[in-house]
A and B are shown apart, each in its own frame.
Chain A
Amino acid sequence: EPEVTQTPSHQVTQMGQEVILRCVPISNHLYFYWYRQILGQKVEFLVSFYNNEISEKSEIFDDQFSVERPDGSNFTLKIRSTKLEDSAMYFCASSLTPSADTQYFGPGTRLTVL
């Protein structure tokens, strides 16, 4: 069964450094998402992406964050200058269509900012 994959599984970085989290969505899916879960808190929506554009973003997704689909298979989340409060599990998801369609999630990348 097709699945969403994410790399790395765990990333440790120093405050102020840039990080790029990588995701490979399901191959025929057209909509891509990033969510995050800070330890002990809810899973929160960050951004959705379609047709090489951001279609929706949350208040969390400020200028420090960016997303990109650099080729036909990868979908990346970049954090330009990490802060301690960016430490969280980051989940990538994809769906064939938006709205009622199921979003399929990857296993997550645990980001630790020291």
Chain B
Amino acid sequence: AQSVTQLDSQVPVFEEAPVELRCNYSSSVSVYLFWYVQYPNQGLQLLLKYLSGSTLVKGINGFEAEFNKSQTSFHLRKPSVHISDTAEYFCAVKEYGNKLVFGAGTILRVKS
């Protein structure tokens, strides 16, 4: 069965510093991978997704993620964060069918 592990529950970082949010998944088949962001009192917004092709995926707000099949990882990165990036970030995987399987989420706290 598919599962997603987000290795850090909270990541504090100073403004303009780089950040990496880690995500590992387990699945026996090919998957689609997603990163969603949730700002306070809002729904889940898609940051980026990997379906196939290039393993480096670029998303909105300057975020990117790299799919590593051998390590079953899909880590999210941003070279320079802003205060406005403070939010909770969710990694999710989809095999067959319709359902997304989510990780537990990582709270990114950007400090000035």
A50-84 interface code vs B (CB 8 A; 1 in, 0 out): 00000110100000000000000000000000000
- Residues A42 and B102 in contact, CB atoms below 8 Å apart: yes
Specify which chain B residues have a CB less than 8 angstroms from the CB of A58 in the assembled complex.
99
A25 within 8 A of B: no
In the bound complex, how far is the Cα of B43 from the Cα of A48, in angstroms?
A: 18
CA A102 to CA B48, docked complex, whole Å: 9
Query: Are B98 and A105 in contact, with the CB atoms below 8 A?
Result: no
**CB contact under 8 A between A31 and B98, given known A100-B32, A107-B41:** yes
Number of A-B contacts (CB under 8 A): 59
CB of A42 within 8 A of CB of B49, answer no
CA–CA, A41 to B6, complex, Å?
A: 12
Q: For residues 95 through 110 of chain A, which have their beta carbon under 8 Å from a beta carbon of chain B?
A: 98-100, 102-108
Q: Which of chain B's residues have a CB closer than 8 A to the CB of A12?
A: none
CB distance from A59 to the nearest CB of B (A): 12
Taking a contact as CB atoms under 8 Å apart, the answer to whether B44 and A105 are in contact is: yes
- Cα–Cα distance between A48 and B32 once the two chains are bound (Å): 18
Residues on B lying within 8 angstroms of A by beta carbon are 32, 34, 36, 41-46, 49, 51, 90, 92, 94, 97-105
| Sample of 14 more A-B contacts, CB < 8 Å, known A103-B46, A104-B46 | A3-B43, A4-B43, A31-B98, A41-B104, A42-B103, A43-B44, A45-B101, A48-B98, A58-B99, A98-B97, A98-B98, A100-B94, A105-B45, A107-B42
